[in-house]
Structure formats: C-alpha cells, structure tokens
Chain A
Amino acid sequence: MADKTRLMQLVYYAIDKASPDNLAITPGKNSLQAISDCTLTSLKITSQGVADMWQIINVFAGGYAGGKAVPQADQTKCKTVGDVWKAVCKAPNVDPSL
C-alpha cells in the first residue's frame, strides 16, 4: 500500500513537473484523484512536456510497487491523467483505483 502511495506521488510529480500550472498549490488540482479526468493538453502540457513526464516516470517507477517503464506504444494512447495512471499500473499490476 505504501508503495502504491509513493507510485501515485511519483506520477503526480511527473505531471506537475511537465505542466506550467502550479498544480500542487492549486485548490481542486492538488492530488492525482482531483485531476484524473483532465486531459494532458488541458493542463497545458506540450509534446516536449509529455516526453519529460514519461522520462521521470520511466526512470523512477522501478523503485515502487515493482514498477516498470511504460512502453512507447502505451504512452501514445494516454490522453488523460487517468490514462497515464492506468498505464503505469498496468506494468507492475498495481490496483489502478484512485
């Protein structure tokens, strides 16, 4: 359970890092659950930001819940924050419920 929480923190950090909005200090957007329905484009994450986001996730996901890097084919299918979270959970077989 602790690993899942840390995995959620990692994904939220990667998304916040890629977005010019200060999500963590914005009411209503300061958790992974709160932004799970948001598209990456609505958070103003450009294609360069998307690349940065996946680099952060793939480099560090291995440390949590047996996580593994998300394959490129799965990355391109992710349109929303929820899609990103499910793709990350798919590899280590973590329960994707938020």
Chain B
Amino acid sequence: MYRLALLLIGTCFAVQSALASDAGADFSLRAADEPAPSARPWDKGASFSYQNTDGQASWLTDAVLKAAYSWDQKFTAKPGQPEFQAGSIRWNVNAGPYLHKLTASQKPQNDRGVSLSLGGHLVPGGSATGAVTDLDFGITVTNGRKLTQGSGTLSSSYFDVGSERQMLSVATYYQPEDSGHSDLVYFFQLGAKGYSDNAYGSQNPQVNGRVNGAMGQVQFSLAPLGLDPKKHQLGALGFAPMISLNAQTQHDTSATGGRNAGNHRLYSATFSFPFVNNNDQEYSGPVPSVDIKRSTGADLLEGRENKGVTSITLSVKY
C-alpha cells in the first residue's frame, strides 16, 4: 500500500545553551524529537505532522526534552607524534522525557516516558591519509508506557502497557580513500545493537513479557554528483542529490510471557534532492527539497510492523 505523507506543519526547535569550559565539557538543554527511544535524539527537532491515509486523517507528534552533558577525552600521543594525532572521544550523557504519539489512526501510538543514555564518539588518531573512519557506541535505558496491539482473539485491540528497554549499540562510519578523479562521493555505515525489551502490567497477558535480541545494520550512501551544490546550478539554486540504501536484520534470541521471539528484516532506499541557495544576497525566494523513500519490512524496536511504505516529502524553506 502506498502512503503519501504530506508534511503540512514541520517545526524544528532546538534551544541550546552551551557553556564551554577549558576542559572541553559543555552542558546543554534542548528540545528535540525522538522518533523512537533507540534513535539518537539530538539529530532532529520536535515535529508535528499531519497524515492522510486512505481518507483517514491523523496527527503525529514527536517531542523530547533532553538535558545533555558532554566532555572530551584525549589519548596520549606516541613518542615523536604531534599531540593532536593522538585520537579522542567525545562523551555524551542525555536524560529527559519523550513523547511519540499518533492520534485518530487505525493504528494509534502513544509512547511516553523517560530515557537516559551514555555514548561516545571516537575519532581515531594517526595519519590523516587514507579512509575516513570513526566509531559511535552507547547504552540507552528507557522507562515509560506505550500502546501495544494485542494478539490472538484481541489482536485488533490496543493495550496501554508499562515499557522498559535496555540497549547497547555500536556503529562505525567508513568513507574509502578517494582517488580524486571524479566528484562522486560514497560512504558506508555499519551498526549493531543488543537489546532487552520488557512489557508489563497489561490486562492482556499476551502482550506482557520480555524479548532479548540483537540487530545488525548496513547503510550505503552515494552522492553521484558530489557534495558541492555550487557545481550544479538550476537558476539561482544549486543541488547535490544523495541516494541511500539501508538493510537491517533483527533476531530475537529469547522471549518470555506472552511474547514470541522472531526474526525481522527491513530494507529501505532513499533519494534526497535538496536545493541550496548559492547566492544568498541576490536570491530571496523559496528553496525546495524533495525526499522519496521506499521501505519494506519490520523493525519492532521502532514500533514498525511488517509493511511496505512509500513516502514523498516536499519541503520549502523561505
């Protein structure tokens, strides 16, 4: 089934007040959305969107308020090596409430609670020649409530259950060494997660229980014309399209209570065509962008059941 999601209202807000100390640590308080407890919440702002699926309207709210603290750790350089070639880790601690709510839908969502995460971003040291790599790792703990669809004779009903989840994650970025002969840019992102998800306190025992498992993910991204929008003009606007292919597999290793262990896969392809205003002083008109995404499969950590979705997002900046 094709779904056309038209974003009528998209607001992003980020209130960030960073106080940098000599030690490199900073504290910030920001409002941002959290598409799911497993996602990195500082990537996007809060959003409110309207969807119309087969004539039925629904509102989606994603919001999270995070208190964040971060600090830097440098490694010791090898003898004879400049200090700045030693490598470093940027540590982050985030904590705060989240809300992920879809109203007036046949498949409502109402995830709310608090999350706490500790993560690090490692930039390795050594020579600057060769590929670009880094490593992200972290642990996230969430506790709250969510709507869960029943199973068996109650499969059409939704139950408000207690929810808690612990998750370990690691991801690496890899951009191969470039020959410099063309504008083409491509890179890979590989990730793995281990999770333990518990649902409890429902009047329907079929939705209560704990599921443990692991997930692997690979993403390939390609900018066929390069990253520089100044090189390709359409009127006053430049553009640099990007194609991303993503595949992930999720394997539940054990399940208790009324929940069942399963295997789930999710594939997606995204084509992004953003325009950029290259002449800030001379052009003051709208700057459009288009994103087309096709995905198929399931990701139960994100609350997505097995389905295929095609979405087209049109946005305009003024």
Contact = CB atoms under 8 A, between A and B. Distances in A.
**In which size bucket is the chain B interface?**
35 or more
A34 to B, nearest CB: 14
A48 B128 contact: no
Contacts of A19: 132, 178
B22 A62 contact: yes
Interface stretch (B139-147, B151-159, B169-177, B289-297): B169-177
Contacts of A69: 20, 24
A72 B129 contact: no
Nearest to B86: A60
B307 interface: no
Most A CB contacts (10 A, CB to CB) among B74, B123, B185 go to: B123
B305 interface: no
A41 B228 contact: yes
A13 B227 contact: no
A63 B23 CA distance: 11
Interface residues of A, number: 37
Contacts of A18: 132
Interface in B227-254: 227-231, 240
Given A16-B128, A21-B178, A46 B185 contact: yes
Interface in B184-235: 185, 187, 226-231
A97 interface: no
A27 B134 CA distance: 27
B82 A51 contact: no
B268 interface: no
Contacts of A42: 226-228, 230-231
A67 to B, nearest CB: 10
B175 A46 contact: yes
Tell me whether chain A's interface is mostly helix, strand or loop, or mixed: helix
Max chain B Cβ within 10 angstroms of own Cβ: one of A6, A9, A10, A59: A59
Given A49-B175, A52-B132, A59 B228 contact: no
Q: Which of the listed residues B83, B84, B176, B231 has the most CB atoms from chain A within 10 Å of its own CB?
A: B84
Interface of B: 16, 18, 20, 22, 24, 72, 74, 82-85, 88, 90, 121, 123, 128-132, 134, 173, 175-178, 180, 185, 187, 226-231, 240
21 contacts: A13-B84, A17-B128, A19-B178, A21-B178, A22-B177, A25-B129, A41-B229, A41-B230, A41-B240, A42-B227, A46-B185, A48-B132, A51-B121, A52-B132, A55-B123, A56-B123, A62-B22, A68-B22, A71-B18, A72-B16, A72-B18
